[in-house]
Amino acid sequence: MGKVSFDISGKVAVVTGGAGILCSAMSIKLAEFGAKVAVLDLFKDKAQEVADGIVANGGDAIAVECNVLNKESIEKACKEVMDKYGRVDILINGAGGNKKEATTSEDMKFFDIPKDALSWVLELNFLGTVMPTQVFGKVMADQGDGCVVNISSMAAFTPLTKTISYSAAKAAISNFTQWMAVHFAKEYSNKIRVNAIAPGFLLTQQNYYLLIDKDTGEATPRGEDVLFKTPMNRYGEPDELVGGVIYLASEAASFVTGIVLPIDGGFLAFAGV
Ligand code: NAD
């Protein structure tokens, strides 16, 4: 038996959407566990704040501007990461999200949802995961090792009401996670692993308007449903996603590829009755 190690210290982690609520928490924690973190985001100034915070706490991080939907931008970001750290051990495809215009509501019937909104959500989540994997995955293929962690969602297992494109895009991410895991292992190296986490419900910008009534601050009927359907009867905290990511990124998961790990307070296990 080899040693079981959760140690990620010294590994280079690239986090897309790293200035966001979940992925900034992830970047900070990965750095606390000794990883060198490249915080990639569309908004460089926000990524810089995250990186500065990490460095101020004695960690190692850089902020890099990157649009996950633009190959040139990703390649430029990859060059910056390689110039600074020389390799890529972990890619976390965190950029993603939903938007109101692609969500059914009293004001937005399914029949009227604009194509632009549908495509925006599909592209950001799905292509925004595939394209950085093309660029940083190439580095991993050249190295012969590496590990990708995608961010799926509960919406991938059974679609959530209202969020049509988001559910489809996250299902596509889970599917891509399996596809890519097999492709890397068969075509390049069985030391390149691809997995995903599927967070349950966390209160963040993308879902706040759906879960909390902006006038009263109380749970909306949908918010009540979410809490009922989550056996732990609470929302998750961003830091609660980190353990799963560290597990997947470490040697402890050396025989794990192509899985989607729910981190959901039991949401997926509960049929609702
Ligand atoms: P967030 O909006 O706080 O963060 C997303 C980040 O991605 C932002 O910093 C944004 O600037 C960046 N971004 C957007 N478009 C980009 C682009 N084209 N290129 C590069 N960066 C871009 O979102 P979050 O709530 O922290 O979610 C992070 C991930 O977790 C998303 O994939 C989301 O779908 C997923 N997720 C969230 C929840 C939840 O409950 N909030 C649940 C399941 C999954």
9 HSE (CA, 13 A, CB side): 6
Task: Specify the amino acid at residue 232.
Answer: M
3 belongs to a structural domain? no
270 belongs to a structural domain? no
Q: Are residues 22 and 74 in the same domain?
A: yes
| CA-238 nearest atom, ligand 1 | 26
Q: How many angstroms is it from 119 CA to the middle of ligand 1?
A: 16
Within 8 A by CB and 6+ apart from 145, the residues are: 89, 189, 191, 192
Tell me the CATH number at 27.
Answer: 3.40.50.720
Please indicate whether residue 200, judged by its CB atom, sits closer than 6 Å to ligand 1.
Answer: no
In the block, which residue shows the tokens 């706040």? 208
* Residue identifier of the C-alpha nearest atom 44 of ligand 1: 153
In the block, which residue shows the tokens 């790990």? 261
272 belongs to a structural domain? no
89 belongs to a structural domain? yes
Q: Are residues 146 and 49 in the same domain?
A: yes
Domain count, the chain: 2
Q: Are residues 116 and 219 in the same domain?
A: no
Q: Which of 27, 40, 42, 207 to mutate to test the pocket of ligand 1 (most atoms within 8 A of CB)?
A: 42
Q: Are residues 121 and 111 in the same domain?
A: yes
The catalytic residue among 166, 209, 235, 247 is 166
* Residue identifier of the C-alpha nearest atom 42 of ligand 1: 199
What are the structure tokens assigned to 38, written together?
């490249």
110 belongs to a structural domain? yes
Q: What is the pTM of this model?
A: 0.97
7 belongs to a structural domain? no
Per-residue pLDDT of the chain (273 residues; tens, 9 = 90+): 567 899 999 999 999 999 999 999 999 999 999 999 999 999 999 999 999 999 999 999 999 999 999 999 999 999 999 999 999 999 999 999 999 999 999 999 999 999 999 999 999 999 999 999 999 999 999 999 999 999 999 999 999 999 999 999 999 999 999 999 999 999 999 999 999 999 999 998 778 888 999 899 999 999 999 999 999 999 999 999 999 999 999 999 999 999 999 999 999 999 999
Q: Are residues 166 and 219 in the same domain?
A: no
Contact 106, 162 (CB under 8 A): no
Q: Are residues 144 and 212 in the same domain?
A: no
Q: Are residues 230 and 183 in the same domain?
A: no
Domain that holds residue 220: 205-235
Closest CA to 130 of 198, 191, 71, 63: 71
User: Mind giving me the DSSP string for 173-238?
Assistant: HHHHHHHHHHHHHHHT-TTEEEEEEEE--B--HHHHHHHB-TTT-SBPHHHHHHHHHSTT-S-B-G
Q: Are residues 107 and 221 in the same domain?
A: no
